[in-house]
Amino acid sequence: MNPFTIALLTDTHIRAPGGDQSSPYPVNARANARARYAVEVIRAEERAFTVHLGDVVHPLPHMAAYADAAVEAHRVLAPLAPDLHLVPGNHDIGDKPHDASPAGPVNETTRATYRDAFGRDHWLVEHDGVAFVAMNSSLVNTGADAEAVQRDWLERELMSCRDKRVFLFSHCPPFIASADEAEHYDNFGEPGRSWLLGLCADTGVEAIFSGHVHQFFFNRYRGVKLYCLPATSFARQDYSEMFSAPPASEFGRDDRGKLAVSFLDISDDDHRLRVVGTGGSEWNADGVMDLPDTQLGTSTLIPHLRHDWATPRVLPYNGPMEEFSRKAVRNDYPLLRLLQFGISTIRVPASDLLDPIQAARLDDWISLRGQLVVFSTEPPTRDLIHALAAREDAVVAWEIVTRNLDDVPAFIAVDGMTRWLGKITTSADNVDRRGAFAHSVTSGFLANQIDRAVACATSNALQGVVLQLRYDDDLAVLDHSADRALETGLDLVVNLRLSHDDPSQGNFDAQWIADRINTCQKWADENARFHLQLDTFEDVDRGYSPRFGLVDRLGNPRLAWDRQRGSSLVTLD
């Protein structure tokens, strides 16, 4: 097959052109113009076809405004026709059967209304030997005749496509944090969930794509990848509770950094998802717009993944969506932003490989072609050596971080693995007696210790040394360190610290950060044995050494790649 691309958008929530009473939220009035902008982003990309994952309109089928909203939706989406395929969302066709659902459930009347407005509620199309299957997720667990018809059809079609690559589209995701989570508004209940997941796994479905929650989530189930994609219209404000930060505008509903369209690149034996932020931009009636670059960034940066990115957080029960039950969700925006930045390698503590929740997230990352630098301040245990060996192909380097260089031989782990020598550096190593003493512990050798680092790494047959570049260090210190390390055949790994040397001071100068990264990145671009770590991926906005990172505490980018100038960084407004 020849590689090709399909476009994906979801949850446009288009309203009747004159306005209607289907929503009390001010941001919903922007949905139509935002959808039209999203259409233009998609039009600019070469693609085989486009799939809308549902909630095309906002008014529900029983509302008087539904018909006018449907007409407006066809007008807004017209530039994507005729190669546009629609998946029914709960706003388009009715909610799933659940006593606490805030809107009316799907039935034969709402299905007929949907078919009259938009066409089939389940379908299969093929392109270049790849099958794309869409279902009506609202029907699952209804017990209606229509559910039985769809179920038989899905089983028959997926079984018949077992010798093909298959992608499934469902407005509602089967689950959002765990395959065994309790039923709530945003997932499939049982027995429908187990039936669908088992069917997809047994028939070799490659991935399931969903919308509905207006947030990004990534999961896997028995080899099937599950992507939940962001909306073009607004963010569900109940999910603002995922973040350790005040919400964006309208109590989180107008979180513009979360709005996006997506592109699915399908190659001979794999697929890659590109989520392209739209930033809440709206269609300009004059046709003059700045469109985002739809390609992924590319970076050799190795960020320290300091914040937890794996443990689900329990949201408060608070209607209208969850008035009677708790919902556990995981913040998947660190994963999404790493993908968008084109970062392929992250630095994590070795203990993550022994924690079931953290290890599962690392394996998710590896399934997306991600790699790891694993560090430890203790010699590896037998269990850790086994965990490293099981992921050997994804581990770029094992970073030994020790206070006593005589202990280095005890750290030697898996044979054949690249090993870098780091160092626990404390304030005792660099006391400035002219000023106040500040307790500090950092990672990496100081520039004046490079000769000792090189000697130790060489004598222990290691492959590299880790130097820390402090906030106040002149970049000229890289010259001597690089010459000293590289002339001996070692890798030079620079831990670029964005934190002040004084932990009571903050660093919130985004342009300084961008310039600092750019300057150091040039070294890495010019020498394959120069590796650049970044000590902060997500902002540290409290505690010691507060500072900006590449993304803020809402998971939105602070910096972006300027692809007109290679991989240079620019600050975002």
Q: How confident is the model at residue 158 (pLDDT cuts 50, 70, 90)?
A: very high
Whether the Cβ atoms of residue 186 and residue 176 lie closer than 8 Å to each other:
yes
**319-351 confidence digits (pLDDT tens):** 888 889 899 999 999 999 999 999 999 999 999
pLDDT greater at residue 278 or residue 18 = 278
Query: Of the ranges 30-34, 192-196, 435-439, 501-505, which one carries the lowest mean pLDDT score?
Result: 435-439
pTM of the model: 0.95
DSSP state string for 166-180: EEEEESS-S-SS-TT
pLDDT tens-digit profile of 34-49? 999 999 999 999 999 9
Q: How far is CA 363 from CA 307, 348, 360, 368, 392, in A?
A: 17, 13, 5, 9, 12
**Which of 137-146, 269-278, 478-487, 563-572 shows the lowest mean pLDDT across its residues?**
563-572
* Tokens found for residue 174: 């089967």
Beta strands in 112-269 (DSSP E): 123-127, 130-135, 165-170, 207-210, 217-221, 224-228, 260-266
Distance CA(189)–CA(494), nearest Å, equals 49
424 burial level (CB within 10 Å; 0-12, 13-18, 19+): middle
The predicted pLDDT at position 563 comes to 56
Name which of 449, 499, 489, 494 is nearest 467 in CA terms.
Answer: 494
- How many CB atoms neighbour CB 81 within 10 A? 9
Q: What is the pLDDT averaged over residues 73-91? A: 97
Place of tokens 């994952």: 53
Q: Give mean pLDDT, residues 502-508.
A: 90
**What confidence score (pLDDT) does residue 562 get?**
67
Q: Kindly report the average pLDDT of the chain as a whole number.
A: 92
Q: Is the Cβ–Cβ distance between 94 and 129 less than 8 Å? A: no
Instruction: For residue range 245-283, list pLDDT tens digits in order.
Output: 999 999 999 999 999 999 999 999 999 999 999 999 999
With a cut of 70, say whether residue 439 has pLDDT above it. yes
SS3 190: coil
pLDDT-wise least confident of 111-125, 208-222, 230-244, 548-562: 548-562
Contact 65, 59 (CB under 8 A): yes
pLDDT confidence of residue 399: 96
- pLDDT beyond 90 at 438: no
The pLDDT of 438-458, averaged and rounded, is 89
Tell me the mean pLDDT in the region 476-486: 79
